[in-house]
Structure 1
């Protein structure tokens, strides 16, 4: 079976790949986000870490929340958010209030999404974007709390 490949977003849409990586020993979350254009050009990346994370699914939902808030702050539009957690994707599509232990974070994401014109979510396999995965793993072993890398959009 061939490994999953990164698929470009539709024309005029930016693709943001999200990863949350949980360390059971340190209880830290490493997160990574990478934005590409519809021509596969790198736009910007961000990664960091969060303390006191209790589970892998909490790491993933925190990474998704940070990505949505970040995109809202930098005012990007027409963004396809990709996440490898099917549980999170299903929860974001469900209009009912989520009362699970990650429910409030999911509700925060739902509240922020309308502030981003053309925002949508999709599920993908973790291996489909190695760059964001490596960014998500990096904060577990380094001191930096946040790094943002940009490329010019010409």
Structure 2
């Protein structure tokens, strides 16, 4: 995980670094809460070939696992899954900024995308623009980090991406998720 700190480093961010330093190099398989005063923003994307549409899902949770906000949005179907995941990360960053969070830990399940966003390196020109855009948005946070989690640790964001299939263009829930996804939050929280 990469950790970027502006205006000094506080205790909570030292806690993130210490926790991650103690982990093996493999990505976590279940959702882990962030330290106090940091929100974790999970993101994912899904493609539905039958309808030629794509969707992104974003969930923001606090250190207690409580949902602060969630989002499900239809977008134009991109040519590559990598682009879809980049667009989901970009939307997650915008959503967190819109809600005025200051200390943010982003987490996604596409390892190559997370690596590109973290390192600022991309595989092609279009993806490079998305990486640059993401990094310019997250640079506005007081602190931010980005890490990879396996799909099992990103189930709510994935469910939200799939949720959009049945819904209008953009849906936002404050301190909640759609009723169909509530059991996923509860399962994550009790793990």
TM-score by length of 1: 0.86
Aligned length: 149
Higher-Rg member (1/2): 2
Cα distance, 1:66 vs structure 2: 0.8
**Runs of 4+ residues deviating >6 angstroms:** none
Which piece of structure 1 moves more, 50-59 or 98-107?
Answer: 98-107
Map of 2:169 onto structure 1 = 145
Question: Structure 1 pair 102/95, CA: closer, same or farther in 2 (3 Å)?
Answer: closer
Cα distance, 1:25 vs structure 2: 4.0
C-alpha separation in 2, matches of 1:95 and 1:133: 24
SS of residue paired to 2:72:
strand
Would you say the 8 A contact 2:47–2:77 is kept in 1? Answer: no
Between structures 1 and 2, the one with greater helix share: 2
Map of 1:124 onto structure 2 = 149
- Is 2:44 aligned against 1:44? no
- Is 2:120 aligned against 1:78? no
C-alpha separation in 2, matches of 1:10 and 1:91: 24
Cα distance, 1:95 vs structure 2: 4.1
Cα distance, 1:100 vs structure 2: 3.6
> Could you list the runs of 5+ residues in structure 1 that have no partner in the other structure?
none
Question: Structure 1 pair 145/12, CA: closer, same or farther in 2 (3 Å)?
Answer: same
> Could you list the runs of 5+ residues in structure 2 that have no partner in the other structure?
1-27, 177-191
Question: Structure 1 pair 59/67, CA: closer, same or farther in 2 (3 Å)?
Answer: same
Cα distance, 1:137 vs structure 2: 0.8
TM-score by length of 2: 0.71
- Give the superposed CA RMSD: 2.0
C-alpha separation in 1, matches of 2:51 and 2:79: 10
C-alpha separation in 2, matches of 1:93 and 1:86: 10
